[in-house]
Structure 1
Amino acid sequence: MNVIQRVLIIGFVWPEPNSSAAGGRMVQLISVFAAQGFEVTFASPAMDSDYMVDLESLGVTKKSIALNCSSFDVFVQELNPSIVLFDRFMIEEQFGWRVSENCPDALRLLDTEDLHCLRLARQKAFKEKRSFSTDDLLIEDSAKREIASILRCDVSLMISEYEIELLQNVFKIDADLLYYLPLLLEPIDHSTSQNLPSFENRNSFVFIGNFLHEPNWNAVQYLKETIWPLIRKQMPEAVLQIYGAYPSQKIVQLHQPKDGFHIMGRADDAQEVVRNARVVLAPLRFGAGIKGKLLEAMQCGTPSVTTTIGAESMCGDLPWNGFIADDPQVFAKKAMELYQDKILWQKAQKNGFEIIEKRYLKSLFEDDFVEHILKVQTRLKQHRMNNFMGALLQHHTLTSTKYMSRWIEEKNRKG
């Protein structure tokens, strides 16, 4: 008789699949575990939001937890999960030592989403008007925290092949601690794809992205100040619609209908917005991971123009579903070509479908992923013995973070 696996996911926030790629990623992971018959509990110290997914409808138990509170110890002991998945390294820092102490035999997984230290180091280099170097990572404070978290966990899930190479080459992380698991998509229904709006029935350029994410805000500024004026000069009737969750006042103030630059706010249905647009623009100048907005464009049959960083690790050796350009003049030129040339547009759309089918189908990864974590479970003791640096960091975390957290808890209790 098989023992039912209990999976505890500890989330930085409650998943919002319609607000960000990270939210969609988490729902994908939940579906993988649920499909295997695993019992899934999702816990988070975050406040509920109006846009969070209904976890119960996914068959998931929802649990609110507190930071720096021993109530978590009682909860996790009673649940006694066989697998614990930390959503981003900040959550592992807070709760990893408690899981290790109370459920030492649980497999500890880290979902990195993207490599935060890479995104922050690139952002810093951009703001200092210099080229990014991988040496920047070695002096980035967030890297010390993030790499320590990766070492403390048994397996870290990576969505970018480039980031796996960085971790192995720059930080000398053992390949056994890393596992490539990109965003997971259902197959494209080609009978449905035939019903997508045609080239003629689409209009406008579109940008879409969560504005809490700094690369997205920077990309919108870049569009407004540099790229869009180049396009409007050649196409005076062109319209660009900017969609995104959590727009700040500084975003809203960029709204200029007379210039064809429209700040639309949160999209009620992001896929509908992208399906009806002719071209997606994503001039990202820093960032990391793979871009959910660009995968969504491919699903919707909408070609895109992006930068090298935007397309990083996304298409492998396959042609992009549009163009990749880092120079603003070239970016604007390619955007206009794609918007006006039906044959070019249709070829780009076909490229997008091929990228999804060859690189992102859930069926390509789901079974291998589950088989891998079950295999690590069966040899967990040896797996951890092979990771001495992780054991060393776990030891020091238990004797430092633990007592800091206990001190905060006592301080909070007293008042």
Structure 2
Amino acid sequence: MKQNVLLVIGFTWPEPTSTAAGNRMLQLLDFFKKEGYEIVFTSTASKSERSLDLDALGIQSRDIALNDSGFDGFIKEINPTVVLFDRFLTEEQFGWRISENVPNAIKILDTEDLHSLRKVREVSHKKKVPFLIRTWLQEDITKREVASILRCDLSLMVSTFEIQLLTETLKIDANLLLHLPFLLEKITSIEQEVWPDFDERVNFVCIGNGKHAPNVDAVLWLYQEIWPLIRKALPKAEVFIHGAYMPQQINQLHKPEIGFLVKGWVEDVNKIFTNTRINLAPLRFGAGIKGKLTTAMENGTPSITTPIGAEGMHDSLPWSGAIAETSQDFAREAVQLYTNKKDWQKAQQNGEALINQLYNKHKLSERFSLVLYNLQQNLEEYRIKNFMGNLVQHQTLQSTKYLSKWIEEKNKKK
């Protein structure tokens, strides 16, 4: 019997030590390896020194190019069972080639987050106007992203809020979506016993990749408005800013005299979290769910964040720390939790419950495996029922296809 083959078309080469998206991809690759798939990872992006060593994991890798018909012969040769698009932009670029050359391959979109939601929220924040769903609905990027979801057989969603937005506001068939947040190991009592306790931990941490606009804004807000209030209440406290690719506007905020320490990238954030008392994530815009918050929970570190930060992450369970909207409330909650051992321990317990109940790797993997099996057995029926997807496929991919071929011919002449 022929081994199942997974083709991943990556928006970037995964960097698990730098980004939550890289960790997410590593979790998906691990899932498909355990399902017995042969995996081929491709991307048009350039690799970096922090890119995951796929060869060491037994995963084939290949560079690909946009508007290159050579890709058609490549995918026919490997004949994938499943194609995983890493974010909707890769589906836009390569989806029509998959449909045309390997039509029986299951097309799965890993959204990471709703990019359109994040972008529109960012614009609204910069304009200092309230974010409105109607504004999101009117944007071209929203229509492009939703069209991509409709064209795929299944879209993996990390946020319950975003599933609700798609199914209730846009009336997208729930069968096209699968709630699959981060796949995390259960926190055991043995792990909890080795965690440093409240009295052994000190200071605050704020973590985020500097290429991600919400993270940069979060550090700026922390520095300008929140940290002065915390520092006033806790004159000896320090906050450590960690993250890869920090821009100069963040690096220049390094001010040891006020306890604001910009340290940049660190290989193992777990060591940072286990020795820190409180995680700060003052996110004013964004989408999806936040790896920095689940990683904090995995290490027994409570977090102070915003409604955007906690959105779609905790269902009806209590948060592992506190959720605040204003700089005054954020600082007050941070100081209160930092100085109250009993409340801190309760927040830590809440984090354990969240990981074990909502991010349980084994339960989530079983559900994904079952959905994947049903798709393999009933793919034609699934596609017949997805009439809107067929319509979008017919209308938009024809134009994408011919535009791509025109660009390819133009490049040949050059």
TM-score range, shorter chain: over 0.9
Query: 1:354-388, CA deviations, whole angstroms, 9 ceiling, x for partnerless residues?
Result: 11011101111111211111211221112111112
Q: Distance in 2 between matches of 1:317 and 1:211?
A: 31
2:263 paired with 1:264: yes
1:214 aligned partner: 213
Query: 1:199-246, CA deviations, whole angstroms, 9 ceiling, x for partnerless residues?
Result: 122111000011111110110010011000111111111101100111
1:146 aligned partner: 145
1:252 aligned partner: 251
1:7 aligned partner: 6
1:387 aligned partner: 386
2:334 aligned partner: 335
Q: Distance in 2 between matches of 1:391 and 1:397?
A: 10
2:160 touches 2:315 (CA, 8 Å); kept in 1? no
Q: Distance in 2 between matches of 1:346 and 1:260?
A: 25
Q: Distance in 2 between matches of 1:406 and 1:397?
A: 15
User: Shift of residue 138 of structure 1?
Assistant: 1.0
1:97 touches 1:397 (CA, 8 Å); kept in 2? no
User: Shift of residue 178 of structure 1?
Assistant: 0.7
1:275 touches 1:300 (CA, 8 Å); kept in 2? yes
> AA paired with 1:158?
M
User: Shift of residue 181 of structure 1?
Assistant: 0.6
Query: 1:320-379, CA deviations, whole angstroms, 9 ceiling, x for partnerless residues?
Result: 111111121111011011111111111111111111011101111111211111211221
1:413 aligned partner: 412
2:12 paired with 1:28: no
User: Shift of residue 406 of structure 1?
Assistant: 1.1
SS across alignment from 1:288: coil
User: Shift of residue 59 of structure 1?
Assistant: 2.0
1:303 aligned partner: 302
Q: Distance in 2 between matches of 1:359 and 1:53?
A: 27
Q: Distance in 2 between matches of 1:219 and 1:355?
A: 24
SS across alignment from 1:206: strand
TM-score by length of structure 2 reads: 0.98
User: Shift of residue 248 of structure 1?
Assistant: 1.0
> AA paired with 2:173?
D
SS across alignment from 1:91: helix
Map residues 190-201 of structure 1 onto 2, 5 A cutoff: 190-201=189-200
1:240 touches 1:262 (CA, 8 Å); kept in 2? yes
User: Shift of residue 315 of structure 1?
Assistant: 1.2
Query: 1:137-180, CA deviations, whole angstroms, 9 ceiling, x for partnerless residues?
Result: 11122101100100111110000111011011222211111111
> AA paired with 1:216?
N
User: Shift of residue 57 of structure 1?
Assistant: 2.1
1:67 aligned partner: 66
SS across alignment from 1:289: coil
User: Shift of residue 302 of structure 1?
Assistant: 0.5
SS across alignment from 1:156: strand
Map residues 31-70 of structure 1 onto 2, 5 A cutoff: 31-70=30-69
2:235 paired with 1:236: yes
SS across alignment from 2:84: strand
1:189 aligned partner: 188
1:109 touches 1:154 (CA, 8 Å); kept in 2? yes
Q: Distance in 1 between matches of 2:195 and 2:347?
A: 15
Deviates more, 1:51-60 or 1:259-268: 51-60
Alpha carbon RMSD of aligned pairs, Å? 1.1
The count of aligned residue pairs is 414
Q: Distance in 1 between matches of 2:181 and 2:255?
A: 37
Q: Which runs of 5+ in 1 are unaligned?
A: none
Structure 1's consecutive aligned runs of 4 or more residues displaced over 4 angstroms after TM superposition are none
2:316 paired with 1:317: yes
Identity of paired residues, percent? 52
> AA paired with 2:128?
K
User: Shift of residue 396 of structure 1?
Assistant: 2.3
Q: Distance in 2 between matches of 1:104 and 1:257?
A: 58
1:97 aligned partner: 96
